[in-house]
Amino acid sequence: MADGRALGEVFLAACAEHGDRRAVVGGGAELTYAGFAALVRERARTLDALLGPGLVNVGLYAANRAEYLVSYYALLVAGRLPFLADAKFGAAELAGIRTSCGVSAFLHDGAGPFPLENRATAVPGSSLTLALLPATATGAPAPRAATATCRFTSGSTGLPKCLEFTAQAVVSAARTWVAGTGLGPDDRVLCLAGFTNGLAFNTSLLPVFLTGAELHLYQGVPTSGGISRAVARAAATRLVAFPLAYRLLATAPRPDLGAFGTVTRAVSAAAVLDPGVRREFEARYGVRIADYYGVAETGPCTYERDPGRTEGLGSALPGVSVTVVELPTGESEVRVRTASMAAGYLNAPGAFAQRLDADGYYRTGDLGRLADGRLFITGRLGGPINLAGRKIDPTEVERILLALDAVADAVVFADADANGETVLHAALTAAGRITRTEVLDACRADLAPFKVPGRVTFLPAIPRSTVGKVRVTELRRLVADARAGGADGHSPELESNG
């Protein structure tokens, strides 16, 4: 049996403490802490009746809104085990979660069909639908008795790994964030990240409620105008978002500067923020961006508290130990140890333990250094592309491509030519009219010849998870389809009109 009730009790205790204070705002919903708790208890009773005693593992597959929060905490209060699945997961990933984790029930947005065969059951009082999948013998391992919540890695390649977290680990992550960042009851947090991602899970899903602050939800496609309007409506004191959001705001043609008058800090994570974007955003809006470094498996690790610092990812949060270990290759790997670390991978037994060193530090796979107590990430193990003995950092090429006005998104990856030789491949989404020749000319102007992509493919969109990470398997499929259709960008005359 899962240990969700322990986490649910922490949440209900926070609601009892903060009573009539406003807790959640978004999508037309506005809940006080007392009202939030009442809805959670009612939903827990409803789900108990629908699920019966046998269905403990329940997937939550929906976009950010108040309904998501009510259902998540209701599952915990009811003693169920929530599996937080990325809303961008498709049928293959959901089928993998079903068979490898033993999840045969999913709560999902009722507006569209669930990707797998199921028996749909309406959830009274909710806009979510319960999808009950046909019974099957999966042989999936049983979760640990102390597991309270399960989350997934991005699933960019292969089957998403399922992370098991105890109630103690989740609460520890929340309290670490509160203590390390000064989150307080007067804060109004606008969160753009999906709750399945560590950025939102560790900064917003529980920490806000422990302190009696307000959580404001963003819905829809993020645009500079949409974000600015949401900030103004919430009178937000904190903005939690991925680097893409700050890039949109920094390059907005008509920025709403007044909307950010209440914001005291903006939090960025998942990728190192481009220094140019940081400078432009902070100069425009007068708001400091605080970098945050965390790992899905370990929870929050570092945060920049000093407003005078504009480089690096900050120093270790309370109770977190960060070290850098020199490897036999001469590279320096970042390793972390936290009280919010996962207990293991449910669907990859033993794999998590292999990532821990003899001192219990998690091997992040990130390359970096510590300077004056601050963490600097310099790359990834195995990150550079080896092209005929030359090491190429794909992000360097991507920066050149993204600087083009007619390019909306880009990713550079290693591909193979007809002879099986490695070739640099650039996949682009156009925002205007641009040719392959113009793309290559821009690269040749700023890059060494061996860094110029050998292939260019235009796609309607780059497939990304809610974290913003490229979904590599899907990307390669889309590129193959484009090439088969004659739109792979090999012809100098090929153009994209966005």
Query: Distance (Å, rounded) from C-alpha 455 to C-alpha 488?
Result: 8
Question: Into how many domains does the chain fold?
Answer: 2
Q: Buried b / exposed e across 267-305, counting CB within 10 Å, b at 16+?
A: bbbbebbbeebbebbbeebebbbbbbbbbbbbbbbbbbe
Identify whether 389 is part of a domain.
yes
Model confidence at 493: pLDDT above 50: no
Query: Distance (Å, rounded) from C-alpha 490 to C-alpha 49?
Result: 58
By residue range, what is the domain housing residue 430? Answer: 385-496
As a whole number of Å, the end-to-end CA separation of the chain is 51
Contact 301, 294 (CB under 8 A): yes
**Segment 101-151, tens digit of pLDDT:** 999 999 999 878 899 999 999 999 999 999 999 877 668 899 999 999 999
Distances (CA, A) of 255 to 223, 234, 236: 11, 17, 17
Mean pLDDT rounded to a whole number for the chain: 89
Q: Which of 110, 134, 167 is the last residue of a domain?
A: 167
Identify whether 240 is part of a domain.
no
Segment 290-309 shows an average pLDDT of 89
Q: Find where tokens 């599996």 sit.
A: 83
276 alpha carbon, distance to own chain's centre: 23
Query: Distance (Å, rounded) from C-alpha 127 to C-alpha 53?
Result: 23
Contact 282, 288 (CB under 8 A): yes
Segment 34-39 shows an average pLDDT of 98
For residue 299, give the nearest of 208, 143, 172 by alpha carbon: 172
**Segment 189-206, tens digit of pLDDT:** 999 988 988 889 999 999
**Segment 253-293, tens digit of pLDDT:** 999 999 999 999 999 886 667 788 889 999 999 999 988 89
Lookup: tokens for 22:
């406003």
CATH number of 25's domain: 3.40.50.980
CATH number of 399's domain: 3.30.300.30
Rg (CA), the chain: 23
Q: How many residues does the chain have?
A: 498
Q: Which of 109, 136, 167 is the last residue of a domain?
A: 167
CA-angle at 287, arms to 285 and 293, nearest 5°: 130
- What is the side-by-side order of every strand in the sheet holding 422-430? 407-416, 422-430, 455-458
- Give the pLDDT score at 156: 43
Identify whether 20 is part of a domain.
yes
Lookup: tokens for 51:
């699920």
pLDDT band at 315 (very low <50, low <70, confident <90, very high): very high
**Segment 426-452, tens digit of pLDDT:** 999 998 899 999 999 999 988 878 889
Query: Distance (Å, rounded) from C-alpha 153 to C-alpha 159?
Result: 9
Segment 361-385 shows an average pLDDT of 86
Identify whether 304 is part of a domain.
no
Q: Which of 118, 146, 167 is the last residue of a domain?
A: 167
Lookup: tokens for 8:
């649910």
